[in-house]
Amino acid sequence: MKKKTSDRLLGLRNIALREIKEPKHAIRSKVSKEGINELADSITKVGLIQPIVVVAVKGGYEVVAGHRRFLACKLLKLREMRAIVLDANTKETEVMKLHENLIRQDVNVVDEANFIRTLMKLDNMNQAQIAKTLGRSEGYISGRLDLLKYDGRLLDAVSTGAINFSVARELNRLTDDAIRNNYLHHGITSGITPAIAKQWVDDWLRMQDLQKGLTSDESEKSTLQNVGEISMPCGICNEVKLASEERMVRVCEKCFKELKL
């Protein structure tokens, strides 16, 4: 019978920082230096309100939850810090890391996907088992793992927050690398929503299907060769321009009506 978390609790202790090791499989690929500095300032002013969670490993302890708090305390050169010590096996440790970080908005979806893949390898688990363990749907897990197969430019854009996961999922439907990069570049520079990305991709795929069906009208074929050039009418003057010459802006309903778009 699986132990409850309370059954695995060994106690709350003050542990010397030199005995604590960073997580072997950290969920974040990058930790914001600015964020650590801000957290260190907070700890200086009010102390460490929430202890970190660790498990015993050879030579000391390993951080399970509270990696950033640990780094902030190291930055402050504190000698010790409060920690909850758990008796947990490797699989339970990694699941706990993921559970804690899934609710934090600053963990990007690429890091989450990589961590899920690592967790699967650690205990030879399939997607259904991972989904059940994390309390997520199989579709959620499958979508995260599929993300890791995307083109590197899409992954970088998602990882840095230039576009969100839903936009990347739409752009990934494009099979032409040049067209996809063109759309991605414009989406990053001018702003893009999942709905707009879907419209762009649907239009391009529809034109590709039409082009494949044409056999005699060479002039129409020639026109379709330039489908990669994104054009759309201006919302104010209605003049059709290349998307690279336009800018997307977000406006409230009141301003939208005043612009008479």
Tokens 């132990």, residue located: 3
Listed in sequence order, the DSSP H helices in 90-244 are 90-102, 109-123, 127-134, 138-147, 152-160, 165-171, 177-190, 194-213, 218-224
Residue 127 lies in a domain: no
Q: Do both 160 and 243 map to the same domain?
A: yes
Give the predicted TM-score (pTM) of the model: 0.56
Residue 113 lies in a domain: no
Q: Which of 170, 230, 229, 246 has its CA nearest to residue 202?
A: 170
Q: Do both 70 and 163 map to the same domain?
A: no
What per-residue confidence (pLDDT) applies to 253? 67
Q: Do both 244 and 163 map to the same domain?
A: yes
Residue 169 lies in a domain: yes
Residue 175 lies in a domain: yes
What per-residue confidence (pLDDT) applies to 35? 81
Check which CATH number belongs to the domain holding 31 and give it: 3.90.1530.10
pLDDT along the chain (261 residues), means of 10: 48 88 73 83 85 84 85 92 77 60 63 80 79 82 91 89 91 91 87 88 85 56 48 63 60 66 49
Residue 228 lies in a domain: yes
Last residue of a domain, one of 34, 65, 88: 88
Residue 92 CB contacts under 8 Å (≥ 6 apart), including other chains:
8
Q: Do both 254 and 178 map to the same domain?
A: yes
Residue 109 lies in a domain: no
- Domain limits for position 29: 5-88
Last residue of a domain, one of 39, 58, 88: 88
Question: In total, how many domains does the chain have?
Answer: 2
What per-residue confidence (pLDDT) applies to 16? 93
Q: Which of 167, 172, 178, 154 has its CA nearest to residue 228?
A: 178
Residue 240 lies in a domain: yes
Q: Do both 156 and 246 map to the same domain?
A: yes
Residue 167 lies in a domain: yes
Distances (CA, A) of 233 to 13, 204, 261: 64, 17, 11
Q: Do both 156 and 254 map to the same domain?
A: yes
Last residue of a domain, one of 58, 88, 118: 88
